[in-house]
Structure formats: structure tokens, C-alpha cells
Amino acid sequence: MKIEIASGCGFCSGVKRAINLALTFAEKDKEVYTLGPLIHNLQVVQSLEEKGVKAVDSIDKIGQGTVIFRSHGVQPADFIKAKEKHLKIVDGTCPIVSRVQRLAEKLTEEGYSVVIVGDPNHPEVEGIVSRASNAIVVQNPDEVKRIKGKRLGIIAQTTQTLSNLRAVTSQAMENASEIKVYNTICKAVLRLQESSCKLAERVDILLVVGGVSSANTKRLFLLAKEINPNTYHIEGKGDMKLEWFAGISKIGLTAGTSTPSWVIDEVAKKVKSYECIVYRY
């Protein structure tokens, strides 16, 4: 069996930065909270909890101490609430997400109807929506048809695919009189999508490792599955099934930007341990 790991998989710079901030303040401060799980990965959230970093779903649940805002960013109302409660604020918003938030504000000031290509229920998108007074979130080109505005400012959730952003923009051209588009998809995500899709082409089976609620892992899985139907989304080594590997010789591994390298290593190790079992029978 040959195992190949996609280049660029695992923690991105934004996730590393947020985790480093959490670890630093867990050592320095007594009560440390994150607003929502710091990243969409259960293993990491559990390990932070062991170090005293607690995830809460609302600022209202924090009495005092330090609050860390995660890489997805938060809504301005959360900043205001945290300040009013005199909490120490540590802003872990990824600089790439902050740029999208600023663009949403800028497009609003310029009078565009802001169109965000993304998942309306994702916290990153909710944070971006809160920066634009007239934002519309669309997930696909079909949803663009309901937009009434004639001057559209299009931006995307950082984990979107380029093909969806292109398709939405192209559909928007049908009715709008003016369109301004910013490609706000994170370059690390685009590179990872590309390397994972190329890997999907040349392996017999592709394992996509990452949290079930991780947007970029889910998108990676869907993209790769279109190329290689023998693609599986797993959270860790415990989700693999021995029968997937019968008669397989080339195995590809990729992972979302919130998957720790040790989880990827564990999966690779377990796959290797299957080799003798699969070939014995």
C-alpha cells in the first residue's frame, strides 16, 4: 500500500494563530473562554478544555475573565457586550476573515447590495453579514435569481470554491446593471482544494480527515468525491472501515485546515497497520 498526503493539509495560519493565542492566555489568565468552539475540531477543543479554556455559546455566560474570539470572527455586538462586561478581549479573528468583513462594510458604504456566497448559518458568514446593512447570502447560482438589487457587490466565505463564486457571479450578470466582485476565498483553502483534487485523481481511495462541522473539510470532501467516488470523510482513525481497503494499493489522505497533524498521523499509522491484514486474506 502506498499512502500519499495532500500538500498543505492540516492547520492553516489563521487556526494556528487562534490556538497559540488560546494557549498563551490559558497559561497567563485564570478564567479563559472562547465564544463558540475555537475551531471546528472536537479533539482540539477537548485538549484546550483540559488546559482550562472553556467554550461558551454566549457572552452572557461569562461573568469575568478573558474571552477569545475565534478565527471565524464575531459580530460587532459581541465586542460591545464583552466591553460592557469589562472582559479582557483577545481577538483571534483570522486577518483574511477581517479583510472580508471590511470589504462588506466598504461595499455597503459605496451603495452596493452586498451578496455573500456562503453558508448562511456559518459563524464566519454571520459575522460578515453583520457588517453590511443590506447583505444577502446565497449558496448557489439559483439563489441569485431572487436578488432585486441592480448594483451588486459580491464577496465569498473564505472556504468557498472558486467554481461556485464564478457561477454565482455569472448568474448575477443576468439582471444586475453593475457588479463589483472580490475574490475573498482564502488562498490556503484554494491550494488545498487543488492539491486534494489532484490527489483524488491518482489514488484508489481518498480519506478526508476533519470535524463534521468544519465547512472547509466538508467542501473538500464534496469536491474530491466528484472526482473519486471512493472518497470518505472521517473525523479520525476510529471512523475507518477495514473493508474500504480490500484490493486497494494507492491511498490518499487530506484534511481540513482545522485538523491537527497528529490526527492525520494517527490515520496514516492505522492505514499502514491494515496492510498486512488486507493482503493476508
Q: Which residues are catalytically annotated?
A: 124
**By CB under 6 A, residue 96 contacts ligand F3S:** yes
**By CB under 6 A, residue 188 contacts ligand F3S:** yes
**By CB under 6 A, residue 155 contacts ligand F3S:** no
**By CB under 6 A, residue 210 contacts ligand F3S:** no
Which residues partner with 62 through β-bridges?
A: none
- In the window 76-95, what residues touch ligand F3S (CB under 6 A)? 94
**By CB under 6 A, residue 98 contacts ligand F3S:** no
Cα distance between residue 159 and residue 122, in whole Å: 11
Residue 93's nearest CA partner among 112, 74, 71 is: 71
**By CB under 6 A, residue 186 contacts ligand F3S:** yes
CB of 39: closest distance to ligand F3S in angstroms? 8
CB of 166: closest distance to ligand F3S in angstroms? 19
**By CB under 6 A, residue 117 contacts ligand F3S:** no
Instruction: Name the 3-class secondary structure at 76.
Output: helix
Q: Are 160 and 225 in contact (CB under 8 A)?
A: no
- Counting Cα atoms < 13 Å in the Cβ hemisphere of 17 gives 16
CB of 150: closest distance to ligand F3S in angstroms? 30
Q: Which stretch binds ligand F3S (CB under 6 A): 9-17, 61-69, 203-211, 237-245?
A: 9-17
**By CB under 6 A, residue 257 contacts ligand F3S:** yes
**By CB under 6 A, residue 41 contacts ligand F3S:** no
Query: In the 8-state DSSP scheme, what is residue 138?
Result: E
CB atoms under 10 Å from CB of 88, counted, come to 15
Q: Are 115 and 138 in contact (CB under 8 A)?
A: yes
Specify the residue, 118 or 149, whose C-beta has the smaller distance to ligand F3S.
118
Residue nearest to ligand F3S (CB): 14
**By CB under 6 A, residue 189 contacts ligand F3S:** yes
Which residues partner with 89 through β-bridges?
A: 67
Cα distance between residue 188 and residue 256, in whole Å: 10
**By CB under 6 A, residue 165 contacts ligand F3S:** no
- In the window 54-73, what residues touch ligand F3S (CB under 6 A)? 71
**By CB under 6 A, residue 220 contacts ligand F3S:** no
CB atoms under 10 Å from CB of 126, counted, come to 17
Tell me which of 13, 47, 108, 195 binds ligand F3S, using CB under 6 A.
13
114: phi then psi, degrees, rounded to nearest 5: -85, 125
Residues 6+ apart with CB under 8 A from 244: 205, 230, 232
Q: Are 207 and 253 in contact (CB under 8 A)?
A: yes
**By CB under 6 A, residue 97 contacts ligand F3S:** yes
Q: Are 120 and 74 in contact (CB under 8 A)?
A: no
Tell me which of 5, 15, 35, 90 binds ligand F3S, using CB under 6 A.
15
Residue 69's nearest CA partner among 43, 112, 98 is: 98
Tell me which of 158, 171, 193, 214 binds ligand F3S, using CB under 6 A.
158
Specify the residue, 59 or 128, whose C-beta has the smaller distance to ligand F3S.
128
List of residues contacting ligand F3S (CB under 6 A)? 12-15, 71, 94, 96-97, 158, 186, 188-189, 257
